[in-house]
Every structure is written in structure tokens, then in C-alpha cells.
Structure 1
Amino acid sequence: MSFQSIKTEQKQSALTELREVKELFASRGWFPGTSGNLSVRVGDYSPDQFQFAITASGKDKTVHTPEDYLFVDQDGKPCEETALRPSAETLIHCEIYRLTGAGAIFHVHTVFNNVISEYFWDRKSVPVDGVELIKGFNIWDEEAHIDIPIVSNFAHIPSIVPEVTERLEARIPGILLRKHGIYAWGANAFEAKRHLEAFEFIFEYVYRWELLKNGRRD
């Protein structure tokens, strides 16, 4: 499948979805500085060949410009001539798409996801018991327990990818980078947004619950 074979309306739809979710997340303060990145897959999918639209590197995500996004292939290389650079973390998107077949991936930096990733770093996962928002991941067990994986954060992005490959869990649509942020994904932009919002609620809940437990007098 060539990039030229992807229909114009599919490309435009992906850009519209990215613009809308970027504006929403920016209003919540989830893109401090120029942090975070968003992507939406376009066209057909196979683990060896796919394309996606992704936020360009170094852009202020609180504003909209004509150069906010570009299209890249399964190796993170631009599909068309452009002066834009894809996000430095595009290779992580490539690997998540390859492993999951997701339709969208959203990555944000928040205080809660950073703090909780460091707090539980020694166990390499965030334990969550019986929180209602676990159902946002289509996990319907009564008093469900999940462990949200945490992986190492390196300045050299390719060094992160093997750990993502190893730690990704099929029923948990997200993975935390230590002191960095959450990657959440879904079959489409709506589902990826739902998953991200559920993760962020859970991180704040776990943080506040740990404070209450640690402050309790027996």
C-alpha cells in the first residue's frame, strides 16, 4: 500500500481528529512546554506496512498552525516531502502500532502520571484494585485488579523500544515511561481518548489513596 493510495478524506479525517483532541488535551494542561505527542493511523494496516499522522516535533500544542502534523510510515519516516520533523518519540508509536494494530495513540505528560511512575518504579507497574474506571479498558471483572506497566526512560529513544515490546500487556491499553508520561491507545481516536482519560483518573486516585493510607493512624 503506497501513501498515494490513501484517500484524501482519510488523511483529512486523521488531521481533524488530531486537531480536536490536541485542543481538548491542551485545555487540560496536558502538554506542558512542547511535550506530548499524538498520532492517528490512516489507511489499511498490516504489522509490516502502515502509515500514521503524528504531531511534528517542537510545536506549541496550545495553538494551531498549518504545520502541526506530518504523515510517516511504519519506520517513522515521512511519507512525503516535508521540512517538518516527526516527534522524537515516533519510534515508540511505530512499535505500539506494530504490536497492537491500534488506530490511535496519545501521549501526555502530567504531574500525576510522572509521580506515580516513580513511586511504583521498584515494582515496575502501578497496582490498581477495584477502581470503577478500570471498566474504561473493557475489563468488567468484579473488583478487578490490574497492573499498569512502567518502563525505563532513556534520552536515546531506540533504547526504550525493546522494553516497550517486552512489557506491553494485551488487556492494558497503555504503558508508562518512568518520570515521563503515559502512552494510551485504542482502536480509534475516541477509544484512545477514553483510555487516556481513564488512566489519568486512576493515576490521581492511586496517588491520593496512597497519601491517605500513609497518613492513617492505626
Structure 2
Amino acid sequence: MNDPIYTLEQRQQAFAELREAKAELAARGWFPATSGNLSVRVGAFAADRFAFAVTSSGKDKSKHTPDDYLIVDGAGRPIEPTKLKPSAETLIHCELYRLTGCGAVFHVHTVFNNIVSELYAEQGSVPFQGVELIKAFNIWEENARIEVPILPNYAEIPRIAALVEERLRPDVPGIVLRNHGIYAWGANVFEAKRHLEAFEFLFEYAYRWKALRL
């Protein structure tokens, strides 16, 4: 990048927001075995030029260290000199920012989102209808229905990233990778967290409802 698109103050704010979100989600057990990643957009945005702060790879997210985050560009490459590495899944974050213009992306692995993604894998999406928490996505009609896209969990992350654009649903701020985890996003950290919590409620609801009907 030629000219800086974020300030030191914006960088520090993004790191502080990630720290707070990471602590809260780690306390829920949503980052088992260093899994998952969080990111927050930093500074100005254009689809062809933007930057975001992201959790560094391989860190215990229940702990806090000076090496927890780094800044990357729209291709997932570190902008600042650093020994840290972003997760390979950063490429999926890049696509979500580019396509939606969102302000934050949260990715977690939970038992419920893994099981439900497997239960509905052949359908290609997880359907929900008439559940109150759908309103968390600003969908207010009575008996509303949504479908959360399921993407294959390829070992090569670029293959997954290449599928994101065609599978996004404008009214659903989330995608789930089969037997992997959910990506939820929003205009800011507050909204991304709200969407993530709603998805996790819905996944648990779907699992328990299906179990009751067996």
C-alpha cells in the first residue's frame, strides 16, 4: 500500500475491540485448541483497498499477549513488519470484507455448528423458520424463514474462498463450513457478536429439536 489507510489510533482501537471480543468468546469455550479467528476492519474501505486487524495463527485465545493480532491488507498479507502469521482462513475474511463491506468477522468452532452443518450438508444450507432469534438479523416479518449456506471444508482455503461470492445470501450475515465452524459478520464488533450469538442459538435449537423428534 502506498498511503496509510488507517491511523495509529484506529489500529489501537481495533486491537482493543478484538481483545474484548476474544476474551468474552473464549470464556464461552468457542475457541477450543486455538481454533477460530476474529477480525476487525481498520480505517478507510474500498472493495479493492482495505485493511483489517486479525488474530494471529496458533495462539491460545483464552490468553492475552502482545502478539495476538496483526494488520493485513485485502489479500491477507501483513502490512506492517511482523514475525506473526495470520491464519490461512484469513482469505475467507478477505472475501467477506470485499463482498459485504462489513466491519468485523467472527469465526468460531462449536459442537452444535459442526453437527448441524453435517446434518444439513446434503441440502447445502441450514433452514430456520419462525424462530424468534431470526430477528437478530433485522428480519422482522412473521414466521420468517432463512437458510444459512453450508460450504465444503476443503483443506485448501483458496478453494473455499472462491466459493464465498456465489453462496452469500444478502439477508443472512453468516456462512458455515461443513464440520468446521461459522463465519458471522456485521457492520461493527457489536453487530458481528450479535449475529454470532444468534447463529449459535439457532444451531443448538436445530440440533435439540431434531433430537427430540427422533
TM-score by length of 2: 0.98
Aligned to 2:134: 134
Q: Tell me the residue number matched to 1:125.
A: 125
In the TM superposition, what is the alpha-carbon distance from 1:162 to its structure 2 partner? 1.7
Cα drift, residue 42 of structure 1: 0.6
- AA aligned to 1:131 is V
In the aligned structure 2, how far is the partner of 1:200 from the partner of 1:70? 27
Which aligned pairs between 1:35-184 and structure 2 lie closer than 5 A? 35-184=35-184
Structure 1 outlier segments of 4+, above 3 Å: 1-5
Residue 34 of structure 1 contacts residue 61 of structure 1 at CA under 8 Å; is this kept in 2? yes
Percentage identity across paired residues of the two chains: 64
Looking at structure 1, the residues matched to 163 and 5 of structure 2 have their Cα atoms a distance apart, in angstroms, of: 34
Q: CA contact under 8 A between 2:92 and 2:161: conserved in structure 1?
A: yes
What SS is found at the alignment partner of 2:202? helix
- Residue type at the aligned position of 2:11: K
Deviations 1:81-102 (A, max 9, x none): 1000001100000000000000
User: Partner of 2:79: helix, strand, or coil?
Assistant: coil
Alpha-carbon offset, residue 41 of structure 1: 0.1
Q: Name the CA shift for 1:16/1:145 in 2 (closer, same or farther; >3 Å).
A: same
The residue aligned with 2:20 is 20
For the residues of structure 1 that align with 2:68 and 2:50, how far apart are their CA atoms? Answer: 20
Distance 2:3 2:63 in 1: 28
Q: Distance in 2 between matches of 1:55 and 1:3?
A: 24
- Partner residue, 2:201: 201
Secondary structure of the 1:22 match is helix
Pair 1:121–1:16, CA change in 2 (3 A): same
- Segments of structure 2 that go 5 or more residues without pairing to the other structure are none
Q: Structure 2 CA distance, aligned partners of 1:121 and 1:2?
A: 43
Instruction: Report deviation, 1:165.
Output: 1.5
- Please state how far the C-alpha of 1:166 moved relative to its aligned partner: 1.1
Count of residues in correspondence between the two structures: 214
Q: Provide the rounded CA distance (Å) in 2 between the counterparts of 1:188 and 1:2.
A: 26
* Structure 1 residues without counterparts, runs of 5 or longer: none
In structure 2, C-alpha distance between the alignment counterparts of 1:157 and 1:194, rounded to whole Å: 26
Secondary structure at 1:207 match in 2: helix
- Give, in angstroms, the shift of residue 3 of structure 1: 6.2
Asked if structure 1 preserves the Cα contact closer than 8 Å seen for 2:109 and 2:182, the reply is yes
Residue identity opposite 2:64 in structure 1: H
1:156-194 CA distances to partner (integer Å, 9 max, x unpaired)?
100101211210111100000000000000000000000
Q: Give the Cα–Cα distance (whole angstroms) in 2 for the partners of residues 48 and 12 of structure 1.
A: 23
Q: Is the 8 A contact 2:40 2:103 kept in 1?
A: yes
**CA offset at residue 213 of structure 1?**
1.8
- The residue matched to 1:4 in structure 2 has which SS? coil
Query: Is contact 1:56-1:85 (8 Å) kept?
Result: yes
Distance 1:187 1:2, change over 3 A: farther
Aligned-pair Cα RMSD in Å: 1.0
The answer for the alignment partner of 1:30 in structure 2 is: 30
Q: Deviations over 1:42-88 (max 9, x none)?
A: 11111000000000000010100000000000000001110000011
